[in-house]
Structure 1
């Protein structure tokens, strides 16, 4: 019987080398982009949706470049202090790469970038653990949007349902979710079935750097915070 490829040992040094090469490639790509584009922004994101983000990135690939991934690698690319920054002032940008954040390098004007980020939002179905944005309660009675084959599945999600002459009906009122509380796996599935979207994918600007100046967008931050962080 032939040996499974899954059981073949992997040399750890090879995986480390591959990881190091990838990081070096990212560092070089970011440093090349710094020379190519006029300004650099740090942005944060909430409710990331990879497909939607890919579409947004494709729309602006002729004028801009996005980087997401390890904040530490992006920080190393720019320089984390006065001593190792690759352009004057970039260590300030580096220190704002925290949590769910990324880099946006572009030749677009500041006004155009601000408009793009402020206007961008995409609605999607919320995932397990997402905070519900509203209370949703289903009232006792027929659920005519569902076919009778769905009855066992709905019951597994905790819904008090039964079949009545081939029509699914709730035997009592049922709270799907409550505003401000995290969604359970069952609640997330029910919301998707109902077509209710409670997640909004948004991008928020944190700062802007150009060879001429540096600007903070996030409230509560000033340059002394960046210098001392």
Structure 2
């Protein structure tokens, strides 16, 4: 017998999706920030770590504002050409918002900004798919850093281990990763267990805009990269 449509359960709660309103809010926030801060920077990042970035942002919250998200939305906020830019020359900033980049707006002197970004560097454990920066090889013999309870887990990661009188032991040499190769999920887990950090979270300045000036910082870029089309 077919189910009665009268008995159909209807969910009254609604989930608000990110859409046009969300994009408009970001656009308006960026445009307001342009009015409030004297300089705008594009920065690129490697090995983003959200918690570390949040801490860095908190340190500068009294003088600065960061924006991360859709490059296209940030470009629209500033204007992508001379015809629609919100300030003279600011479309050059939009053209450099590509890949892993963000906006940094601040009232700090440019020398202070350069120092902060150049000195910022945080080390962390590499994730699956990251490139190994060195070869890590474990030699045959006891692994005293691991308790006997870890033996089954290590074996699941592909390590040739056994218990010898309650001590975890490698029965043969084992290469965790090779320099230049991508890390497998197993290799990333083993490196974490070994306490070996191969990822460096960095922020690099790409360019700076102010009402009176425009500068490029990143090597390999020149003014032809930001010429209006």
User: What TM-score bracket applies, with the shorter chain setting the length?
Assistant: over 0.9
Q: For residues 128-167 of structure 1, what are the structure 2 equivalents within 5 Å?
A: 128-167=128-167
In the alignment, which residue of structure 1 is the partner of 2:19?
19
Q: Tell me the SS of whatever aligns to 1:193.
A: helix
In the alignment, which residue of structure 1 is the partner of 2:54?
54
Does residue 32 (structure 1) correspond to residue 32 (structure 2)? The answer is: yes
Does residue 169 (structure 1) correspond to residue 169 (structure 2)? The answer is: yes
Deviation at 1:115, TM superposition (A): 0.4
2:82/2:228 contact within 8 Å kept: no
In the alignment, which residue of structure 1 is the partner of 2:114?
114
Q: Distance in 2 between matches of 1:85 and 1:216?
A: 19
In the alignment, which residue of structure 2 is the partner of 1:98?
98
Deviation at 1:93, TM superposition (A): 0.1
Q: Tell me the SS of whatever aligns to 1:203.
A: strand
In the alignment, which residue of structure 1 is the partner of 2:213?
213
Cα distance change on mapping 1:95 and 1:141 into 2, 3 Å? same
TM-score, scaled relative to structure 1: 0.93
Deviation at 1:45, TM superposition (A): 0.3
Q: Distance in 2 between matches of 1:103 and 1:10?
A: 33
Deviation at 1:222, TM superposition (A): 1.1
Deviation at 1:219, TM superposition (A): 1.3
In the alignment, which residue of structure 1 is the partner of 2:3?
none
Q: Distance in 1 between matches of 2:101 and 2:67?
A: 9
Q: Distance in 1 between matches of 2:60 and 2:80?
A: 28
Deviation at 1:3, TM superposition (A): 5.3
Aligned CA-pair RMSD? 1.9
Does residue 194 (structure 1) correspond to residue 189 (structure 2)? The answer is: no
Deviation at 1:218, TM superposition (A): 1.2
Unpaired stretches in structure 2, ≥5 consecutive residues: 1-6
2:80/2:91 contact within 8 Å kept: yes
Q: Tell me the SS of whatever aligns to 2:154.
A: helix
Cα distance change on mapping 1:124 and 1:41 into 2, 3 Å? same
2:31/2:77 contact within 8 Å kept: yes
User: How many residues of Structure 1 are paired with residues of Structure 2 in the alignment?
Assistant: 223
Deviation at 1:66, TM superposition (A): 0.1
Q: Distance in 1 between matches of 2:14 and 2:183?
A: 40
Runs of 4+ with >4 A deviation = 1-5, 8-11
